[in-house]
Amino acid sequence: MVTICVSSFKGGTAKTSTSLHIGAALCKYHRKKVLLIDFDAQANLTTGLGFDPDEQDSMAPVLQGEKNIQDVILDTCIPNMHIIPADTWLERVEVSGPLAADRYSHERLKEILRGLDYDFILIDTPPSLCWLTESALIASDFSLVCATPEFYSVKGLQRLSLFINNISERHQTEILGVALSFWNPRGKSNDAFLNVIEQTFPGKLLKAKVRRDIAVSEATIYGKPIFDTAPKCRASIDYMDLTQEILNRT
Region of residue 220 (phi > 0: left; psi between -120 and 50: alpha; otherwise: beta): alpha
Host H or E run for residue 112? helix 108-113
User: Which pLDDT score, from 0 to 100, does residue 54 have?
Assistant: 86
What does each C-alpha distance from 114 to 3, 117, 139, 169, 221 come to in angstroms? 10, 9, 9, 21, 34
> Partners of 7 in the beta sheet?
145
What digits encode the pLDDT tens for the residues 2-24?
999 999 876 667 889 999 999 99
- Give 224's DSSP letter: S
pTM for the predicted model, two decimal places: 0.94
User: Which pLDDT score, from 0 to 100, does residue 189 have?
Assistant: 82
Structural domain spans, the chain = 2-249
* CATH numeric code, 2-249: 3.40.50.300
User: Which pLDDT score, from 0 to 100, does residue 89 have?
Assistant: 86
Q: Which residues of the chain have pLDDT under 70?
A: 10-12, 153-154
User: Which pLDDT score, from 0 to 100, does residue 153 have?
Assistant: 64
User: Which pLDDT score, from 0 to 100, does residue 59 have?
Assistant: 95
Contact 116, 73 (CB under 8 A): no
Name which of 163, 139, 141, 140 is nearest 8 in CA terms. Answer: 163
- Give 98's DSSP letter: G
